[in-house]
Chain A
Amino acid sequence: MKISPKIVIFLIIILLSIAFPFFAGPYQQSIAKNVIIYMILALSWNMLLKTGQISFGLAGFFGIGAYASVLLSLKLGIPPILTIVLGGIVTSLVASAMGMIILRLRAMYFAITTLALGEIFRVIIHNVPNFAGGAHGLILPGVIFDGNGLYTYWLFLGAALFSIGLSYYFDKSKIHLALTAIRDNETTAKVRGIDIFKYLLIVFTITAGMQGIAGGLYAQSFGFVTPESSFSGDFILLPIAMALLGGIYTTAGPVVGAIVLGVISEYLKLYIPYGHLIVYGLIIVIVILFMPNGIIGALYVKIDGRKTFGKVDQPNE
């Protein structure tokens, strides 16, 4: 097998990120963990976007994963790492049940319905104080690995690499062809014998699982969940801004976008405590208007001379 420079660069980046805690302080590590949470969300959102479906249900599934993980360790005493995985599975199950119904909707109807579902989950959690702590949420007796920063970071990194791998696999496998066909022209895809609903359901379930795992990681590393923080709108807005800035429809886009925006926002938070999220809104607007292919798209055009990257900016007559 020929070793291409791409693989070498990729391996170096992985090794560097594994070694990151040895030359970075706890503050930098906590930024890295935040970036990873949003990176997973951005990757999963982008994976569903490839089918042409835009979901605003990120926060809903994130919250379900967080609550499932915390409830499993509190009520059943299951070890934290396992609850994160189980939380992802629970979220997947919920999503596939939901998907059976809502994946028949398209475009704005799908988008708004997912937004409403997230809200419903929050209201349910809010109103069952005996089971899920109600408005005050739940507190874990301790955080994962007893607060060992090194292990926690590696766990997060593992989840990030897993998500990147999954997204990459979807880019390269046969599923990718089916998904792109669905996005480009659903009717044609249907005529060609692609089982649209099946593929949509697969992707919806998997991406929701990823979002659930991100929620579990978040909950276990902070040691608490509340309806307002676990279902926060930030978990919708930030990942979307990141994926857009990096470049949608690619795997590298959300990764680059999450790192760039995640680091910038940490500094903005220091200077503008109120309303630093305005930057995310502005980025979304500016990117959609002026560079719909994002950073990665712009790079591709520069390097490869490819003009037909993605399909975002083509008029849809």
Chain B
Amino acid sequence: MTKAKRLFLSGGIFILALIIFIWRPTILIYGIQRAGLYAAVALPMALVLGIVHIVNLAHGELLMVGAYLTYFVSVTFGLDPLIALLPVAVVMFLLGMVIYKLTIKHTLKAPELNQLILTFGLAMVLGQSVNLIATSQPRTLTVDYVSTSLSIGELTFGVYDFIFPATALIILGGLLFFLRKTRVGKAAQAVGQNPRGAEIVGIDVDKIYLIIFSLSTALVSIMGSLYLTKQSIFPLVGGPFTMKSFALVAMAGIGSLPGVLIASLVLGVSETFLLSFKGYGGWSNIVFFAFIIGVILIRSHKGKQI
């Protein structure tokens, strides 16, 4: 993307945001909150796709497992979910390591088809294991501070949900710092650009893959914990997140982490926009997917290697 184009795009988005803000400020507020959730969930997937080069169709299921673990830890030990998320993230990091070592590692050299089917199978195993252990009954954790609201003039809105965009920004900042400033992160970027070249200069590619995959698992599990504080969870809750995350990553262009944030913003706000019309809420998903298919197609027709 050229500089002028980028300027034009961000200028357009800013003006659009301003118009929506003046017209119906709640759409923008809730849109940003929603976008934050999408972005924070999609970022770990972008990381894996950019460096390990696999589409993890079990991404949403990992979020779901993280949410369930947080639920059980919170209920058993009476912990606040926001505290429970830390030990859960550590456990999920280890689970990511196990999944990588046992399965993903062995299909990295196989055709892409095998990787897709493998992670699809993993998604089923995770989803159905939870179904087996915890049944399909929805679970809700009630925490009182999530309903804190703020009033500015006539405007009243939930404050707690800003935790999602805040987390998204923290994750993005952290990842960018990790990739650009740390030794392991730089090595990971090299692996992402050219695995064979990285191997030749002495980088342990397998170890990088292991770290990146486990890191992404831990990050998505944190989002699962946060999701639990707002919504009820059930074994199938993760599925849509996989699709939405992939779509956001594809829109942003593989390898672009900040792009994920912009793509999420566009989708979050347009979804909220549709939801604000009474009776049309059910259609919000379809617009989402239509949007995605459109963007993927435009990108592929431009002849870009996507």
Contacts and interface: CB of A to CB of B under 8 A. Distances in A.
A13 interface: no
A108 B283 contact: no
Interface residues of B, number: 46
Contacts of A292: 110, 114
A116 B136 CA distance: 24
B285 interface: yes
A276 B292 CA distance: 33
A288 B286 contact: no
Given A108-B112, A123-B283, A285 B297 contact: no
Contacts of B126: 281
Nearest to B106: A289
Interface string B105-129: 0110111111011101111111111
Contacts of A178: none
B100 interface: no
Interface string A96-128: 000001101101110111011101100110110
A108 B118 contact: no
B137 to A, nearest CB: 10
B155 to A, nearest CB: 30
Contact of B109 (A109, A283, A317): A317
Contact of B296 (A52, A113, A274, A280): A113
Given A289-B103, A292-B114, A281 B301 contact: no
Given A284-B117, A285-B122, A109 B300 contact: yes
Interface string B268-306: 000000000000001101100110110011001100001
B293 A275 contact: no
A107 B250 CA distance: 13
Given A281-B123, A288-B107, A288-B117, A116 B132 contact: no
Contact of A54 (B113, B121, B290, B293): B113
Contacts, number: 136
Given A112-B247, A240-B117, A285-B118, A274 B132 contact: yes
B246 interface: yes
A237 interface: yes
A120 B291 CA distance: 11
A195 interface: no
Nearest to A237: B124
A120 B132 contact: no
B135 interface: yes
Interface residues of A, number: 49
A109 B289 contact: no
B117 A244 contact: yes
Nearest to A281: B124
A241 to B, nearest CB: 8
Interface in A197-245: 233, 237, 240-241, 244
Contacts of B210: none
Contacts of A104: 297, 300-301
A37 to B, nearest CB: 19
A266 interface: no
B247 A275 contact: no
A312 B111 CA distance: 7
A124 B286 contact: yes
Contacts of B289: 116-117, 119-120, 123
Contacts of B131: 274-275, 277-278
A125 to B, nearest CB: 11
Given A119-B243, A284-B118, A288-B114, A278 B296 contact: no
Given A111-B116, A237-B120, 4 more contacts: A113-B293, A280-B128, A311-B111, A316-B109
The 10 closest A-B pairs by CB, nearest first: A284-B121, A281-B124, A275-B132, A278-B128, A281-B125, A275-B131, A285-B121, A116-B289, A315-B109, A123-B286
14 contacts: A54-B113, A54-B117, A101-B297, A112-B250, A116-B289, A123-B283, A274-B131, A275-B129, A281-B124, A284-B121, A284-B124, A285-B122, A288-B118, A311-B111
